[in-house]
Copies of this chain bind each other. A is one copy, B any other.
Amino acid sequence: MPEDEDSMVVERPDDIEVPPPSEPYTLIEPFEFFNDSSGISKKCLIILNQSIRDMNLRRLWPNTRLHICADGGANQLYDYFEDEDERSKFVPDFITGDCDSVTNEIKQYYISKGTVVIPQYSQYSTDLTKSLMLTKIYFHSETLRSKLYEGIESDNGLSELGQSLEASGATPVYVYMLGGIGGRFDQTIHSINQLYKLNQSDPHLQIFFVSHSDMIFLIKKGLNYIQYERKSLFNTSRKAPICGLLPLSNTPITLNTHGLKYDVINWTSSMIGNVSSSNGICGTNGFIVNATDDIVMNASIDHY
């Protein structure tokens, strides 16, 4: 792929101040999850069936209002705690999915603590998409939310209930997914696929995947400002936390950034050409990404 003649890469110091753009932009705040003082009103934590052993659940759990285990995610949550006293303080609101992974003992344990189990046996969607549908319904209105406690048809009831919802005008919901990236590779790519698709169908759902090493989210087509209180909120081990801009949709993307270790100017990125990996975040409170199409970003975090 030929580079534009005026394409450039500029190396920055580890800390630079980058104010928000003066033109209209999309505000992205991926690290609010780590900010104990931010509001929790429309924030959801979804635990998928992948080890969460080295994540700091004790810190992250109180920062979200709704807690869902996707099928075997309940096993992961149960096994996370060794102490029964502590375990009983982290009870999910819901367990959903096709329930072929959650053990009966663990399901009964959480039911006894007040968890509502919503089995959805349909094989035409995944535990991840079922959990997201539940999230949409829960935050849509009090009326719809109450239906979740009245019994949902166990094959595909959530999806049928959710089909009628209009995404337009909905206020933003922050969804943090533990697991989903870093395990079986087709599951990882299914997660990224959902990230792109949900941005089309339900742009008010702001999805953040949290892996052992990264926060993974979507940068929107156009001008974006990624904002945070301070970098040490999500990464204490590096002055310029490592990041990447990953063109995983089906088109080459031209990028302009301000606030990264290797800022790019008129730089075309594609999976069969250039990809900006092993980059770094230098902006002290935020950085700018201008992209000609939606692009996936990862930022390395530590679960301190």
Contact = CB atoms under 8 A, between A and B. Distances in A.
A300 B182 contact: no
B249 A190 contact: no
A186 B244 contact: yes
A187 B188 CA distance: 14
A279 B186 CA distance: 9
Contacts of A249: 250, 271-272
A72 to B, nearest CB: 14
A189 B250 contact: no
Contacts of A277: 126, 186-187, 189-190, 193
Interface string A195-210: 0110010000000000
A251 B248 contact: no
Interface string A266-302: 0000111101111100000000000000000010100
A126 B243 CA distance: 15
A272 B276 CA distance: 21
A300 B214 contact: no
A214 B243 contact: no
Interface string A237-251: 000001110111111
A252 interface: yes
Contacts of A156: none
Nearest to A212: B183
A188 B242 CA distance: 13
A186 B272 contact: no
Interface in A220-258: 242-244, 246-252
B197 A272 contact: yes
A211 interface: yes
A184 interface: yes
Given A184-B214, A186-B243, A214-B185, A278 B126 contact: yes
A178 to B, nearest CB: 14
A120 to B, nearest CB: 15
A300 to B, nearest CB: 6
A275 B187 contact: no
Contacts of A250: 247, 249-252, 270-272
A219 interface: no
Contact of A185 (B187, B213, B251, B276): B213
22 contacts: A182-B182, A183-B213, A184-B214, A184-B300, A185-B211, A186-B242, A186-B244, A186-B276, A189-B244, A189-B275, A189-B277, A190-B244, A190-B277, A192-B271, A193-B271, A193-B272, A196-B272, A197-B273, A247-B250, A249-B271, A250-B251, A250-B271
